[in-house]
Every structure is written in structure tokens, then in C-alpha cells.
Amino acid sequence: MKRILVTGGLGQMGSELVPELRRRYGAENVIASDLRMPPAGADASEGPFEFIDCTRQSQVRAAVQRHRIDTVFHLAALLSAVAEEKPHMAWDVNMGGLYRVLEVARESGCAVFFPSSIGSFGPNTPKESTPQDALQRPTTMYGVTKASGELLCDYYYNRFGVDTRGVRFPGLISHIAPPGGGTTDYAVEIFYAAIRHGHYSSFLGPETRLDMMYMPDALRAVIGIMEADPGRLVHRNSFNVTAMDVTPEELAEEIRRHVPGFTISYKIDPVRQAIADSWPDSIDDSAARAEWDWMPTFDLESLTADMIDKLRSKLGA
Ligand code: NAD
Ligand code: SER
């Protein structure tokens, strides 16, 4: 990786992946892009930025050629809850965007990182310790685009030799940029609410178990798979990766150790609850551990302590 383009670079993950890539590979070698413009007051000296709608192949191609890009981190997508509200747009952005990025990669010889999700699984997938190679019949538009995206990436590797790689992320917990409208957003909102109000009203029920990961580990996963020795990769795309599985009740209990008196109540959103219920309770990431030495560093305890610490500074609490 010498010249990098990140699509959807202003989102929850991109806001932290872009600076991390710039630290590693040089600010001038990492081009951030998004459909949105950077917020007013953003420091342009941090590195180059391009306005790119990933569904417009000409815009993706022009940026790849102008900046002599060799690796695209394709983050742009609609997340699960938004995708369920706007399924047609989700198909256009998630599938149309990926297809166009892969086409430009094929023309230009770029490698592509594609983040899939636990959302690529469905209600008839084994619910606990979901294996790497499991039945995938998702019932959400988000899941349909992620499962199809995994297959499309495999196809571009096998048919055209495009160096596609990816992971299936669980819910990502972070304190820099807000989440973009997913089913796991509660696991970020709960921290802000705990510090600001000492109370959180959860849109998922108390026993809803889902995999989660702290953003520093997610960044390590992205860079780890892209730097992995290709000779060791059996799966290449869509590796299960996880750090913990947790329910809202358990997360609240852990937060209470840092915010005494913190309370949680439940006002369940039937749409997001149904999405969460269709996903695994826990996934097995042993293939990623075996093929490219994946290993998370944060568990529930250390994640919670660090989130609370960082958010207290950020919110001046
Ligand atoms: P996000 O919603 O925070 O950010 C997505 C970004 O894509 C936004 O900045 C948005 O403006 C941009 N975008 C939307 N449409 C676009 C278009 N047509 N062209 C260019 N940019 C466009 O999402 P995120 O949390 O940063 O997720 C990044 C990727 O990781 C997504 O593919 C998501 O599905 C995947 N993922 C995220 C999580 C998570 O918990 N955050 C979990 C699993 C997988
Ligand atoms: N966090 C994501 C979502 O809930 C999972 O892919 O949409």
C-alpha cells in the first residue's frame, strides 16, 4: 500500500481510519473522500480530500487516476437501520458503489478492502459461535448487500485477479465520530447518555446479545488483513472478527462500575429489534486468527474504562 483512497471517509470508521493510515503511510499518500464535505474548520493540512459519490464510476476513476491510487478502502455504505428505511437507496449505494469501485480497481490494478458485517448472516444461521463458513440468508436489505458484496469481491478476485480482502465487523464502539444509523448504535449512545444524563433508554431489549469491538481493534483488523501475507489466506474476503459479545444489560452493568447510579430503561424499536434478532449472538473468528494472526486487544472491561475516560475529557464532564 503506497497510495490510498478511502471512500465514505467522514463516517464513524473513516474518521479514525484515515488518520491512522496517514500516520502509517504518510499524510500525502492517503486521500480521504466522501459524499459530504469535511466540517467547516477542518484542517486541510491533515491530508488531501476529494468529493466522491461512489455510485459515480467516473468520479471514482478520476480520483484513482489523478492520485495514482493502488489501494481503495471502500467504507461508503448505508448502515442497517437506515438501509431498512431506504432499501432502494441502500441497494444503489451499497451494491452500486461496490460494483463501481471494483470495476475501477479492475481497470487500474488496485487492491480493495470491503467491510462486511455480522448483518450478512440471517435468522437461520447458527446463532452461537457462528462459524466462518455458515449459511447466509439475511432478511434485511443491509444484509443482502453485505452478503452479495462478499460474493462480488470473491468473484473479482477469482475472475479478474483483483486483490480484494475484507472482514465481517461486529458493532463498532468509538468516541470520535457518531455512528451512522446502525442497529448496534445503542452501544455508543449508552456511553454518551451515561456521562451526560446518568440514564439511557435502550431501543434494543435487555437480553439482545450481539458481537462488539472497540474502534482501535477495528483499525488493527482493517490494516492487518490488508497487510497479511496473501499466501496464508484461504478465505481472503469476509473474515469473521470479534472482540466480545454483550447485551445492553451487561454493558449497563459494566458502565455502572464507572458511573455509580447509572440506570437503563427499555423502549424497544421493533424494526431494529427485529434486525438484531436476525443476527448471531456470537461469531467464531478462529479463521482470522489462524490465517493472519488476528487478535483483539480490548475486552468489555478495558473498552468501557477507556470509553468513559475519553468521553469524560471530550464532554468536559
Ligand atoms: P457511517 O455511516 O458512519 O459512514 C459512511 C459514510 O459513507 C458517511 O460519511 C456517508 O456520508 C458516506 N456515504 C454515503 N453514501 C455515499 C456515497 N454514495 N458515496 C460516497 N460516500 C457515501 O458508516 P461506518 O460506521 O463508518 O461504516 C463504514 C463501513 O463499515 C460500512 O461499509 C459499514 O457497513 C461497515 N460496518 C460498520 C460497522 C459499524 O458498527 N460502524 C459494523 C460493520 C460494518
Ligand atoms: N453496526 C452495523 C449496523 O448495525 C453492523 O454492520 O448496521
Index of the ligand 1 atom closest to the CA of residue 92 = 18
CA atoms of 190 and 199, how far apart (whole Å): 8
pLDDT tens, residue by residue, 160-205:
999 999 999 999 999 999 999 999 999 999 999 999 999 999 999 9
196-236 pLDDT tens trace: 999 999 999 999 999 999 999 999 999 999 999 999 999 98
Of the ligands numbered here, which is closest to the C-alpha atom of 34? 1
Q: Which ligand is nearest to the CA of 168?
A: 1
Q: How far is the CA of 259 from the centre of ligand 1 (A)?
A: 31
Catalytic-residue membership of 214: no
DSSP 283: B
261 CA to centre of ligand 1 in angstroms: 34
Distance 45 CA to ligand 2 centre (A): 31
On whether the CB atoms of residues 262 and 256 are closer than 8 A, the answer is: yes
Report the largest interatomic distance among the alpha carbons of the chain, rounded to a whole angstrom: 58
Task: Give counts: helices (H), strands (E), the chain.
Answer: 12, 12
Pairing of strands 263-266, 239-240: unpaired
Reference 74, options 226, 187, 227, 234; nearest CA is 226
Our answer on whether the CB atom of 182 is closer than 6 Å to any ligand 2 atom is yes
Residue 101 near residue 54, CB atoms below 8 Å: yes
56 to 8, 104, 108: CA distances (angstroms)? 13, 11, 16
Buried residues in 227-257 as b, exposed as e (16+ CB within 10 A):
ebeeeebebbbbbbbbbbbbbbeebbebbee
Residue 243 confidence (pLDDT): 98
> Which H or E run includes 5?
strand 4-7
Ligand of minimum distance to the alpha carbon of 90: 1
Q: Which amino acid is at 126?
A: P
Domains of the chain: which residue ranges? 4-170+214-240, 171-212+244-282+298-315
Grid cell of 10 as nine digits: 467522514
Q: Is the CB of 140 under 6 A from ligand 2?
A: no
What's this model's pTM, rounded to 2 decimal places? Answer: 0.98
Q: Of 3.40.630.10, 3.10.180.10, 1.10.260.40, 3.90.25.10, which CATH number belongs to 171-212+244-282+298-315? A: 3.90.25.10
Which CATH code is given to the segment(s) 4-170+214-240?
3.40.50.720
Element (H, E) at 71: strand 71-74
Q: Is the pLDDT of residue 21 over 90?
A: yes
- In this chain, the answer to whether the domains covering 4-170+214-240 and 171-212+244-282+298-315 adopt an identical fold is no
The residue annotated as part of the active site, out of 25, 142, 157, 200, is: 142
Over residues 81-131, the pLDDT tens digits come to 999 999 999 999 999 999 999 999 999 999 999 999 999 999 999 999 999
Nearest to 243 by CA among 289, 275, 276: 289
Q: Is the pLDDT of residue 1 over 70?
A: no
- Say if CB 168 and CB 280 are below 8 A apart: no
Ligand 1 atom with the smallest distance to the CA of 76 is 7
